[in-house]
């Protein structure tokens, strides 16, 4: 590792990978499309339907969510000055879980959903809304807990995150206890993360909220580098550390909240991708952030395609696939470091 | 001028500084000395703006520190703390570039500035290396380069440099090199340098003025040669010392009595 | 057997849609009981795929499986080119169902309570949906005859057996309380649900298990295999002092029979009663 690292953002390689993986995602699936007729009479209507309304929105959602997960992972790692930090540390995802759990388990008991004439779309968006609000709420709570005399020490953030995670875990546990079998399974499957059922309205909402947020985070790359020096040194160098931390946490919470709302809990991407990027390109966040963004999109799309193909015609939860990838990845890291390779 | 007037600081029930006044004048090298726990670092951090004095205040260019914005402050004074741990494999070049954070410069200009400052500390060959791989002394020199970059980025002359134990991990050659560099900064570029240092002899040899602290209080402010007459050092350090005179510079040097 | 108006409503709604639905030629069935009913009505020719819970009859093994009913895959369902999807309220996720609807597939929800009347209603609803109402009536009539043949052993009039259904054999076992399919099954058989004070599927503590004082334990075959055999049931904390453990009375049923009410429920009831033949209060 003492050799000079590439300082160039490997844009052509990443875009190529992105195109390849997108092509795969569009052409592969449980539904068989006869491509040979493309040149002659054009595809059947049903085939277009699957392509345009099932596969394409799902591909876009996978790209967006993958990019968001990886980028927020990289940002968290700079914020906590620790390569093993993860948005989960802040308890954002567990807050979302609690909210979804409450909606699934307690709401039917409190409100007879058939009496309240809710339109169908509200019901189907209720879980997402709950997850989003839960994420934001837990993030706000953690920030409040971690403030000391106007300063947010990273240690306090961590402790507050641990507390929230524990609390959320307990509440979710209680909910699974009082839930019936059906609710329990719904909650469990939500927790495994899935991109199934992605439709254009989902893509619209997610991209409208995620794209500006990710763009904002990308622009903070140089400031993230400064944060790596430490709070005091970053202040001496002219960075308003408190302000940038607040904004980073808020942006991360927003991004994570949206991904959790639409795709459930998907782990490991926020850890694996920035790690991999740093191994190849070094820790300069001006490279790490955009690279993680693109590589995250590629990775999650690949994982989702695998999820759709491994047990055709059924599908695995994508969170399961990322965990299956994540485990060996970290084992490999462990072996590398044990063998003394840096 | 960077000036502290009668500042006092208490933290956790202990008095860290008591009625300390110090002036850092452009073009002057001021060194702060004292036994462990004397308050040297605390003074530096208060002058830098990180700590707020309970009594008294710090002014920079005749304006109180509290009125300075963080970025304006960063352009006027640069600080180097003792040990900067970077838990990531940032390159040496990237670390030095951090001094340029809030200037919008072209890539070529950045590269040139970074190279210049690395050259001054003799680390230009390490440009492409990873910072965590370097030895303690090498890292310290890189931090110095970063600090210098921050100060020189605006292209203005002058400014202030606050250094906390910049020689701690350096070998003899690098210590001398750094001290000469500091002198050059003062004499030729009009920078006001404040250096916290524990090596008494080096302080006497290179400083324009000395501030000796003991238990948060100033026990001596003045030029090094004045210490030839006074017994304040022996009293402050409570060590068995013999005072000599440097053969070339006519400045006090201290040696242990066996 | 009288159906209240409220219960007739879904049937009426489906009747309204009848013209469209009787063309359901490529059918996907999501729900083990629904699949069973389709075979009962003799309409299995129209079936192109089923979900993972459709394990009866054995012929279903030949059909492709579109996955678990709560986590359907849109593409998976679409890949068999269905025109109709027969589902229960448990099917999901909602997003995917919506997507399938948008793709032009007819979604028919068959919903009925987990009671004896509900079984007949389910059969009728499915028959209506497939446009074979007369077959449905015939099936229901046959079902009613089967139920009429059931009788509760006279010895049980004095004190019916207390039966406890175990869904899960682990540290704190999960039992079937009121309002579950096993609960109805036990009652139809003439027994008393030992966990009748609980609602739905709940975990039981050892003390509560003792207090429930079951005379017999009912498990599914698959559940027993998962648990690791009969011994594990008797080794549960609090079990040893129960009448069931002392007489080693373990009743077994196929999982589909035990967990859902359908055409074979009368058979299930008979099996339970047969296994308790020599039981005396």
Q: Do A49 and C90 touch (CB under 8 A)?
A: no
Interface test with B, best of A237, A242, A281 (most B CBs within 10 A): A237
Q: Which of B81, B87, B89 sits opposite A282 (nearest CB)?
A: B89
Give residue B118's pLDDT band: very low, low, confident or very high (50, 70, 90): very high
**Percentage, residues of chain C above pLDDT 90:** 19
Specify the pLDDT at position A38. Answer: 66
Average pLDDT, stretch B16-25? 92
d(CA A5, CA A8): 9
Give residue A299's pLDDT band: very low, low, confident or very high (50, 70, 90): very high
Q: Do B90 and A232 touch (CB under 8 A)?
A: no
pLDDT above 50 (res A124): yes
Q: Do C73 and A32 touch (CB under 8 A)?
A: no
Nearest CA in chain C to A26: C75
Chain B: touching chains (3 or more CB pairs < 8 Å): A
- CA B163 to chain CA centroid, nearest Å: 2
Q: Which domains does chain B have, with CATH numbers?
A: 2-256 (3.40.50.300)
C160 against A151, higher pLDDT: C160
**Percentage, residues of chain C above pLDDT 70:** 90
A63 against A150, higher pLDDT: A63
Specify the pLDDT at position A163. Answer: 87
Specify the pLDDT at position C3. Answer: 46
Give residue A264's pLDDT band: very low, low, confident or very high (50, 70, 90): confident
Residues of A in CB contact (< 8 Å) with C are: 29-32, 46, 49-50, 53-55, 120, 123-124, 177, 180-182, 185-186, 189, 194, 196-199, 202, 308, 311-315, 317
A165-179, B126-140, C92-106, C142-156: range with highest mean pLDDT: B126-140
Residue pLDDT, tens place only, A267-296: 889 999 999 999 888 899 999 999 999 999
Radius of gyration (C-alpha) of chain A in whole angstroms: 21
Of A21-35, B26-40, C120-134, minimum mean pLDDT range = A21-35
Residue pLDDT, tens place only, C167-177: 877 656 788 98
d(CA C181, CA C113): 9
Q: What is the pTM (predicted TM-score) of this model? A: 0.83
Helix (H, G, I), strand (E, B) or coil at C208: helix
Q: Is the peptide bond before C57 cis (omega within 30 degrees of 0)?
A: yes
pLDDT above 70 (res A1): no
Q: Do A313 and C73 touch (CB under 8 A)?
A: yes
Give residue B249's pLDDT band: very low, low, confident or very high (50, 70, 90): confident
Q: Do C90 and A182 touch (CB under 8 A)?
A: yes
- 3-state helix/strand/coil string of A211-271: HHHHHHHHHCHHHHHHHCCCHHHHHHCCCCHHHHHHHHHHHHHHHHHHHHHHHCCCCCHHH
Average pLDDT, stretch C245-263? 85
Specify the pLDDT at position A50. Answer: 83
Q: Which of A46, A312, A317 sits opposite C76 (nearest CB)?
A: A312
Nearest CA in chain A to C175: A181
Give residue C22's pLDDT band: very low, low, confident or very high (50, 70, 90): low
Average pLDDT, stretch B186-210? 92
Average pLDDT, stretch A150-163? 75
Residues B73-91: b if buried by 16+ CB within 10 A, e if exposed: bbbbbbbbbeebebebbbb
Helix (H, G, I), strand (E, B) or coil at B85: coil
CA distance A224 to chain B (A): 10
Residue pLDDT, tens place only, B60-96: 998 999 999 898 899 899 999 987 888 888 999 999 9
Q: Do A120 and C98 touch (CB under 8 A)?
A: yes
pLDDT above 90 (res B257): no
Which residues does chain A have within 8 Å of residue C72's beta carbon, measured at their own beta carbons?
196
Q: Does C76 touch chain A (CB under 8 A)?
A: yes
Q: Do B50 and A240 touch (CB under 8 A)?
A: no
Among A339, A341, A264, A333, which Cα is nearest to A84's?
A333
Which residue intervals of chain C are DSSP H helices? Answer: 5-16, 18-21, 32-40, 74-78, 94-102, 116-130, 133-149, 155-158, 181-188, 206-212, 221-227, 230-234, 243-246, 255-259, 265-275
Give residue C15's pLDDT band: very low, low, confident or very high (50, 70, 90): low
Would you say the C-alpha torsion B212, B217, B220, B221 has a positive or negative sign? positive
pLDDT above 90 (res A69): yes
A41 against B106, higher pLDDT: B106
Specify the pLDDT at position A268. Answer: 87
Q: Does C92 touch chain A (CB under 8 A)?
A: yes
d(CA C25, CA B251): 106
Nearest CA in chain C to A307: C73
Among C248, C256, C112, which Cα is nearest to C182's?
C256
pLDDT above 70 (res C233): yes
ipTM of the complex: 0.92
Ordered DSSP codes for C57-84? SGGGGGS-B---TTS--HHHHHTT--SE
Nearest CA in chain C to A48: C103
Q: Do C80 and A123 touch (CB under 8 A)?
A: no
Specify the pLDDT at position A122. Answer: 62
Residue pLDDT, tens place only, A213-263: 999 999 999 899 999 998 899 999 999 998 998 899 889 888 988 888 888
Which residues does chain C have within 8 Å of residue A314's beta carbon, measured at their own beta carbons?
52, 65-68, 71, 73, 76
φ/ψ of residue C280, rounded to 5: -130, 145
Helix (H, G, I), strand (E, B) or coil at B84: coil
Interface test with C, best of A31, A48, A114, A175 (most C CBs within 10 A): A31
d(CA C147, CA B49): 88
pLDDT above 50 (res C1): no
Give residue A154's pLDDT band: very low, low, confident or very high (50, 70, 90): confident
Which residue intervals of chain A are DSSP H helices? Answer: 11-27, 45-49, 56-79, 92-101, 107-110, 120-146, 154-178, 181-191, 200-219, 221-227, 231-236, 241-263, 269-281, 285-309, 318-338
CA distance A91 to chain B (A): 23
Q: Which of B78, B88, B129 sits opposite A2 (nearest CB)?
A: B129
Specify the pLDDT at position B142. Answer: 94
Nearest CA in chain A to B132: A2
Average pLDDT, stretch B6-15? 90
Q: Does A204 touch chain B (CB under 8 A)?
A: no
Give residue A4's pLDDT band: very low, low, confident or very high (50, 70, 90): very low
Specify the pLDDT at position A298. Answer: 96
pLDDT above 80 (res B112): yes
Helix (H, G, I), strand (E, B) or coil at B205: helix
pLDDT above 90 (res B165): yes
Q: Do A284 and B99 touch (CB under 8 A)?
A: no
Tokens 């026990």 identify what position? Answer: B219
Q: Does A341 touch chain B (CB under 8 A)?
A: no
User: How many beta-carbon contacts under 8 Å exist across A and B?
Assistant: 80
Q: Do A313 and C79 touch (CB under 8 A)?
A: yes
DSSP letter for A4, please: P
Q: Do A315 and C76 touch (CB under 8 A)?
A: yes
pLDDT above 50 (res B237): yes
Number of helical H runs and strand E runs in chain B: 8, 12
Nearest CA in chain B to A274: B88
Q: Do B50 and A236 touch (CB under 8 A)?
A: yes
Nearest CA in chain B to A6: B128
Nearest CA in chain C to A183: C90
Beta bridge partners, B24, equal B2
| Chains B, C in contact, 3 or more Cβ pairs below 8 Å | no
Q: Do A185 and C70 touch (CB under 8 A)?
A: yes
Specify the pLDDT at position C221. Answer: 87
Q: Is A126 exposed, middle or buried (0-12, 13-18, 19+ CB in 10 A)?
A: middle
Give residue A116's pLDDT band: very low, low, confident or very high (50, 70, 90): low
**Percentage, residues of chain B above pLDDT 90:** 53
C114 against A13, higher pLDDT: A13
Q: What integer best gives the mean pLDDT of chain B? A: 89
């Amino acid at each position: 590792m003492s050799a000079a690292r590439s300082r160039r953002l490997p844009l052509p390689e990443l875009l190529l990978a992105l195109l390849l993986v997108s092509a795969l995602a569009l052409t592969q699936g449980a539904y068989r499309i006869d491509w040979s007729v493309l040149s002659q009479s054009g595809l059947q209507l049903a085939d277009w339907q699957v392509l345009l309304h099932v596969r394409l929105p799902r591909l876009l959602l996978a790209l967006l969510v993958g990019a968001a997960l990886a980028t927020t992972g990289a940002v968290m790692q700079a914020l906590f000055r620790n390569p093993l930090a993860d948005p989960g540390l802040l308890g954002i995802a567990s807050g979302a879980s609690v909210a979804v759990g409450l909606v699934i388990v307690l709401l039917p008991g409190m409100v007879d959903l058939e009496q309240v004439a809710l339109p169908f779309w509200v019901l189907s968006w209720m879980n997402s809304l709950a997850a989003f609000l839960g994420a934001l709420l837990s993030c706000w709570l953690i920030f409040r807990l971690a403030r000391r005399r106007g300063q947010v020490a990273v240690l306090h953030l961590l402790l507050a995150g641990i507390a929230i995670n524990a609390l959320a875990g307990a509440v979710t546990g209680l909910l699974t206890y009082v839930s019936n079998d059906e609710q329990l399974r719904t909650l469990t499957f939500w927790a495994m993360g899935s991109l199934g059922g992605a439709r254009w309205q989902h893509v619209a909402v997610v991209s409208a909220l995620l794209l500006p947020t990710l763009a904002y985070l990308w622009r903070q790359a140089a400031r993230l580098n400064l944060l790596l020096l430490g709070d005091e040194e970053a202040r001496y160098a002219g960075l308003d550390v408190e302000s940038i931390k607040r904004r980073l946490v808020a942006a991360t919470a927003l991004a994570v909240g949206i991904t959790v709302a639409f795709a459930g809990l998907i782990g490991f991407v926020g850890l694996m991708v920035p790690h991999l990027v740093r191994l190849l390109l070094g820790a300069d966040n001006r490279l790490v952030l955009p690279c993680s963004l693109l590589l995250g999109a590629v990775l999650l799309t690949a994982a989702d395609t695998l999820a759709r193909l491994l047990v055709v015609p059924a599908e695995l939860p994508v969170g399961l696939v990322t965990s299956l990838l994540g485990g060996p990845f970290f084992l490999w890291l462990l072996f590398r470091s044990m063998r003394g390779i840096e | 001028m960077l000036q502290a007037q009668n500042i006092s600081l208490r933290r956790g029930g202990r008095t860290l500084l008591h009625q300390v006044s110090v002036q850092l004048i452009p073009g002057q090298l001021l060194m702060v000395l004292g036994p462990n726990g004397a308050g040297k670092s605390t003074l530096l951090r208060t002058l830098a703006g990180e700590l707020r004095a309970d009594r008294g205040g710090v002014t920079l260019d005749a304006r109180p520190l509290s009125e300075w914005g963080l970025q304006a402050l960063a352009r006027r004074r640069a600080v180097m703390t003792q040990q900067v741990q970077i838990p990531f494999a940032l390159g040496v070049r990237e670390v030095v570039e951090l001094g340029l954070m809030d200037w919008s410069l072209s890539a070529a200009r950045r590269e040139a500035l970074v190279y210049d400052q690395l050259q001054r500390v003799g680390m230009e060959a390490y440009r492409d290396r990873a910072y965590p791989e370097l030895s303690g002394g090498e890292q310290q020199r890189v931090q110095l380069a970063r600090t210098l970059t921050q100060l020189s980025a605006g292209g203005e002359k002058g400014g202030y440099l606050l250094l906390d134990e910049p020689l701690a991990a350096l070998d003899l050659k690098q210590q001398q090199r750094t001290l000469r560099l500091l002198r050059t900064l003062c004499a030729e570029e009009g920078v006001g340098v404040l250096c916290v240092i524990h090596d008494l002899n080096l302080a006497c040899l290179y400083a324009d003025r000395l501030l000796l602290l003991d238990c948060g209080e100033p026990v001596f402010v003045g030029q090094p040669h004045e210490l030839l007459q006074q017994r304040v050092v022996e009293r402050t350090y409570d060590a068995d010392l013999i005072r000599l005179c440097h053969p070339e510079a006519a400045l006090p040097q201290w040696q242990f009595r066996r | 057997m009288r159906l209240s108006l409220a219960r007739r409503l879904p049937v009426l709604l489906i009747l309204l849609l009848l013209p469209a639905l009787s063309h359901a030629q490529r059918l996907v069935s999501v729900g083990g009981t629904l699949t069973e009913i389709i075979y009962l009505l003799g309409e299995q020719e129209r079936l192109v795929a089923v979900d993972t819970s459709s394990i009866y009859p054995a012929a279903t093994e030949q059909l492709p499986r579109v996955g678990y009913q709560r986590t359907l895959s849109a593409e998976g369902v679409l890949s068999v080119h269905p025109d109709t999807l027969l589902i229960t309220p448990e099917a999901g996720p909602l997003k995917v169902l919506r997507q399938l609807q948008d793709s032009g597939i007819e979604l028919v929800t068959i919903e009925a309570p987990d009671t004896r009347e509900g079984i007949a209603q389910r059969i009728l609803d499915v028959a209506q949906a497939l446009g074979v109402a007369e077959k449905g009536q015939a099936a229901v009539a046959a079902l009613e005859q089967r139920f009429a043949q059931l009788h509760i052993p006279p010895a049980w009039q004095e004190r019916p057996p207390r039966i406890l259904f175990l869904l899960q054999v682990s540290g704190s076992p999960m039992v079937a309380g009121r309002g579950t399919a096993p609960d109805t099954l036990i009652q139809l058989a003439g027994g008393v649900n030992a966990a009748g004070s609980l609602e739905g599927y709940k975990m039981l503590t050892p003390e509560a298990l003792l207090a429930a004082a079951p005379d017999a334990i009912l498990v599914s075959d698959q559940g027993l295999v998962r648990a690791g055999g009969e011994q594990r049931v008797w080794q549960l904390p609090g079990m040893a002092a129960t009448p069931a453990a002392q007489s080693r009375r373990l009743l077994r049923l196929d999982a589909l029979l035990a967990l859902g009410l359908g055409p074979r429920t009368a058979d299930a009831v008979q099996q339970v009663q047969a296994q308790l033949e020599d039981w005396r209060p």
